[in-house]
Structure 1
Amino acid sequence: MRKISVAHSPDADDIFMYYAIKFGWVTPKDAVFENIADDIESLNQATINGVYDICAISFALYPFVKDDYALLKTAVSFGNGYGPKLVKKKDVRLKKNFKVALSGEFTTNALLFKIAYPDARVTYMNFLEIEQAVLDGVVDAGVLIHESILTFDDSLEVERELWDIWQELAGKELPLPLGGMCLRRSIPLTHAIDYENTLIKAVKVANKNKHILSDMLIERGLIRVDAPTLDKYLDLYANDDSIELSELQYEALDKLYELGFKHGFYENLIKSREFLIPSEYEELRAK
């Protein structure tokens, strides 16, 4: 049995979308998935260094790793009217060059923030530390991600929604691309197709059995939030739109990469569909 390393973040939506495999509800063919959980920027850096076979990444990272990893069309997280939040202490006025904490250099929120606030002084830290850094005055503001967008301290207020920044930059209402998964290109194509299909099935099964799976995750202490917050969070980021990329989501990804190229963050302009696993090979091979 081949052992395939699958890395995902420890936040609720990634765990939810993967654990149908961990709990044995869905199993890959002729392979064993070994899962690793780490914060998203650590996973971004690990993907740059080619550490894992399959890895969750920020969508903004993908153009940097496209030659070594194929983009998967499942286990995706998009914002739709919501997303990361730029927060500060109440009644604080931010200067043009305010100091801000972001969750990582290659995160999608960092890309959009730096386009919108080119004069801000950026520092990077683990996403779990950002709220406290703002409260302690270590930074003037911070961009909150994951579950913290629902649970931040009452003494903080939202300066700006990343969703609003995205809509302004995109020029039309598109879902906000946040995170997805990628797969090492050196994996044989037939195996790669099997692995992606396994992940697609896992997300489908998770969504279909949402309440059962959520209860199991909470009972085992795998989630940082309580049941009502988990339900709300999964409604945002792990839902029917997470199973397979839609036409609108492809358009949103292409707009993200266009913006990154236009503002000098990427050397080349890419189109997301050109970097998927060619799953049609399986059908052609069967003919």
Structure 2
Amino acid sequence: MSNQQSGPATAAGVREISIAHSPDSDDAFMFYGLATNKVRVPGYRFTHTLTDIETLNRRAQNEAFYDVSAISFHAYPYVQDNYTLMGCGGSVGEGYGPMVVSAKKLTPEDLGKIKVAVPGTLTTAYLSLKVFNPNIETEVVPFDQIIPAILAGKYEAGLIIHEGQLTYASSGLSKVIDLGVWWRETTGLVLPLGGNAIRRSLGAEEHKIISKALRDSIQHALDHREQALEYAMQFARDLDTSLANRFVSMYVNERTLDYGKDGREAIRKLLDLGYERGIIPIQPKVDFVD
């Protein structure tokens, strides 16, 4: 297992911290302050890598490569030896979330009889679908190809994440189930989707400094919404400004600054259910850096 060790980047002793997140408008909005140097931390430099979430999940699992990495909560048990969760920077669905859509009218019960295209087996969308019905047959398709694949008749249904949650109807598709709605009706909790993990080896002092930097970046974006949204628009695949604003509002809000007690409970509950139902083979041990 190879680790990228952070360390002094210059003779002046500036410490470089590698951050990786997905190229989505909500993540871009969240990291706007840090990425544009509007938020600075003396003695630290933050480098940003943008990669799709399933790749980040695998890289965190296989290499513990980045100091801070966005991950799906589903991936956490697989990386928990090397990473802990940050108390900020997460996205949760407040009565909404990933959804299964199809080109024809289907009921949630019908999903047990067909193959559903999914955006990756370490995504939280996949975990929540399997908690809903462990017997659903799935096949992995890149997240941005799922709607086109349904329209082309390759799959009867697909599990969509990201902006597809706002655009599927304009493609002529119908919603079969919104897993965020189902989760809230079942548990009374928000559906935790993705968070930021930080390498344990950095130590408590670094954890504190980096967590504050990220929280400050999120607050800066919320306080300077127009500028942050303009920056995020370059990552807002196929969304106009009003839809991008709506999407960012769904996943960057007060919960992103702090999950809250019930938000943390929701993370534990989802992962524990995944373990109890045999979807996750490793017992989750969830802890947070504040």
Give the direction of change, closer, same or farther, for the CA distance of 1:163–1:30 in structure 2 (3 Å limit): same
Separation in 2 of the partners of 1:242 and 1:184?
A: 20
SS at match of 1:182: strand
- Partners of 1:10 and 1:38 within 8 A in 2: yes
Give the direction of change, closer, same or farther, for the CA distance of 1:26–1:252 in structure 2 (3 Å limit): same
Residue 244 of structure 1 corresponds to 258
Q: Which runs of 5+ in 2 are unaligned?
A: 1-13
Alignment of 1:1-287 (within 5 A): 1-49=14-62, 50-91=64-105, 94=110, 96-152=112-168, 153-168=170-185, 171-218=186-233, 221-224=234-237, 225-267=239-281, 269-270=283-284, 272=286, 275-277=287-289
Separation in 2 of the partners of 1:252 and 1:118?
A: 19
Q: Which moved more, 1:105-114 or 1:221-230?
A: 221-230
Give the direction of change, closer, same or farther, for the CA distance of 1:79–1:266 in structure 2 (3 Å limit): same
Q: Percent identity?
A: 33
Paired AA for residue 137 in structure 1? G
Alignment TM-score, normalising by the size of structure 1:
0.89
- Partners of 1:29 and 1:194 within 8 A in 2: no
Runs of at least 4 residues of structure 1 off by over 6 A? none
Give the direction of change, closer, same or farther, for the CA distance of 1:213–1:167 in structure 2 (3 Å limit): closer
Instruction: State the Cα distance separating 1:164 from its structure 2 match.
Output: 3.1
- Partners of 2:28 and 2:231 within 8 A in 1: no
Separation in 2 of the partners of 1:197 and 1:264?
A: 36
Q: Give the root-mean-square deviation of aligned CA atoms.
A: 1.7
SS at match of 1:264: coil
Alignment TM-score, normalising by the size of structure 2:
0.88
Separation in 2 of the partners of 1:201 and 1:229?
A: 25
Instruction: State the Cα distance separating 1:141 from its structure 2 match.
Output: 0.6
Residues 233-265 of structure 1: per-residue CA shift (max 9 Å, x gap):
111111122111201101111211221121013
Residues 64-105 of structure 1: per-residue CA shift (max 9 Å, x gap):
111100110111100012111100013467463311111111
Aligned residues: 272
Separation in 2 of the partners of 1:96 and 1:217?
A: 37
Separation in 2 of the partners of 1:114 and 1:130?
A: 18
Instruction: State the Cα distance separating 1:215 from its structure 2 match.
Output: 2.2
Instruction: State the Cα distance separating 1:194 from its structure 2 match.
Output: 0.6
Separation in 2 of the partners of 1:97 and 1:215?
A: 43
Paired AA for residue 288 in structure 2? L
Instruction: State the Cα distance separating 1:209 from its structure 2 match.
Output: 1.0
Paired AA for residue 46 in structure 1? R
Paired AA for residue 276 in structure 1? F
Paired AA for residue 96 in structure 1? G
- Partners of 1:112 and 1:165 within 8 A in 2: no
Residue 8 of structure 2 corresponds to none
- Partners of 2:32 and 2:231 within 8 A in 1: no
Separation in 1 of the partners of 2:48 and 2:111?
A: 43
Separation in 1 of the partners of 2:19 and 2:207?
A: 13
SS at match of 2:273: helix
- Partners of 2:105 and 2:176 within 8 A in 1: no
